[in-house]
Amino acid sequence: MTERMFFLPFVVLLLPFDFLVAFSMLLTEIAMLPIRMKRLMTPSALRAFSPFSRGRNVPLEKGDSRRRRQGVIPRSVTVIIVNWDGKHLLEESLPHVVEAVADKAAVLVVDNGSTDGSVEYVKDRFPAVRILKLDKNYGFTGGNNRGVAVVKSDVVVFLNNDMIVDKNFLDPLLDGFADPSVFAVTSQIFLPDNSRSRSETGNTRGAFKDGFFYIEHAPVEASEPSPVLWAGGGSSAVDRKKFLELGGFAALYHPFYVEDLDISYQAWKRGWKSLLMPQSRVVHKHRGTSQPKFGSRFVDNTIRKNQFLFIWKNVTDVSLILEHLINLPRIHARAMREHGVSFEIQAFLRAVSQLPEALWARISSFSNYVLSDREVFMQSHKS
């Protein structure tokens, strides 16, 4: 009881901002009401035009050269690696990438204004690798979006500059696109230290509990492809046309984290799948760039901020939103106990400052959805 009383004044301090979020969400719901009413009147018609159902039975044109094994593969592939002062990481990762893709894919390094000789290293050691040199650091989102904008490939593979790929990582990713309703295909992730518990696996899951959205990497227990909630932004292949239709990675989450969850979730709500291909294997030197540059506290605080923004932008089930708004004080209290008072206040106020942007994106995307939040959870958790 004493501990709860300690946090109470700080929870009360955030109440006006909680009410601001609730009031703003209410106004957003009013704006979205005509679309909700239309769906209630014609649910079957909307489901009939779902890309999720359309994609299942798209026939191949006669003589289609994309046939391979049992399905369809992309005709062209580009691997995009965003780098910022990560020469030491490229020295370790890029040789593996170049060897693995060989003549199967082009490689593009998007350099976010590095000053450590990264560009010169790539030019000297790997002249076949294309370089997009940017004038400053545009972050994960800006760098990758600019990279996608300058390529014309059917599929883009996003790799972090601290990702060590297996020599056979690419083919399983491409095989996942045999189903035209697939948006993204992700690799199984390992850590450099095999003795450590795997905080990343690629088998991503999520649940909405007590008003908040919780995510995890579950163990990989099968060798067969399986649906996942999101495809990791540093170890996945995406359908470029679908990626562009979704607007690319959202700048809302700048400078990093939750962008991959966001776009995968948006894809699911449009009826497009994300898959894990366990046979595609990579090793991740987790936070090889972000943590040394920004510090652990800023990285963790940004993730927390972006978790709030993700809910406000993406979760449209009315009962789940009400659950979130009602539980906001408890959500704050839990975080204050785990991470400290200043940590939660800072993260939440940072999120509130971006609330208008999140809600505008919420309204703009809503008419494109064909699956509810509960349906996304169900579809993405099928084994």
Q: Where along the chain do its domains lie?
A: 1-58+67-383
Cα diameter, the chain: 74
- pLDDT at residue number 1: 53
Measured distance CA(259)–CA(82) in Å, rounded = 14
- pLDDT at residue number 295: 84
Number of neighbours of residue 225 by Cβ within 10 angstroms: 20
Measured distance CA(253)–CA(289) in Å, rounded = 17
- pLDDT at residue number 290: 62
**pLDDT tens sequence across 180-222:** 999 999 999 999 877 777 888 999 999 999 999 999 999 998 8
- pLDDT at residue number 296: 87
- pLDDT at residue number 63: 35
- pLDDT at residue number 46: 47
Contacts of 48 (CB under 8 A, 6+ apart): none
Q: How many helices (H) and strands (E) does the chain have?
A: 15, 13
Contact status, residue 138 vs residue 249, Cβ threshold 8 Å: no
What secondary structure does DSSP assign to 94-160, as a single string? HHHHHHHHTTT-EEEEEE-S--SSHHHHHHHH-TTSEEEE-SS--HHHHHHHHHHHT---SEEEEEE
- pLDDT at residue number 2: 64
- pLDDT at residue number 33: 92
The pair of structure tokens assigned to 225 is: 């492809």
- pLDDT at residue number 285: 80
Positions of the chain with pLDDT lower than 50, given as ranges = 44-71
- pLDDT at residue number 286: 62
- pLDDT at residue number 222: 84
What are residue 186's phi and psi, to 5 degrees? -120, 155
The pair of structure tokens assigned to 142 is: 């800006």
- pLDDT at residue number 289: 60
Contact status, residue 189 vs residue 202, Cβ threshold 8 Å: yes
Contact status, residue 107 vs residue 81, Cβ threshold 8 Å: yes
Fold of 1-58+67-383: Spore Coat Polysaccharide Biosynthesis Protein SpsA; Chain A (3.90.550)
Q: What is the pTM of this model?
A: 0.89
Query: Exposure of 303 by Cβ count < 10 A (0-12 exposed, 13-18 middle, 19+ buried)?
Result: middle
Measured distance CA(357)–CA(328) in Å, rounded = 20
- pLDDT at residue number 56: 39
The pair of structure tokens assigned to 108 is: 């593009």
Residue 175 carries which DSSP code? Answer: H
Radius of gyration of the CA atoms of the chain, in A? 21
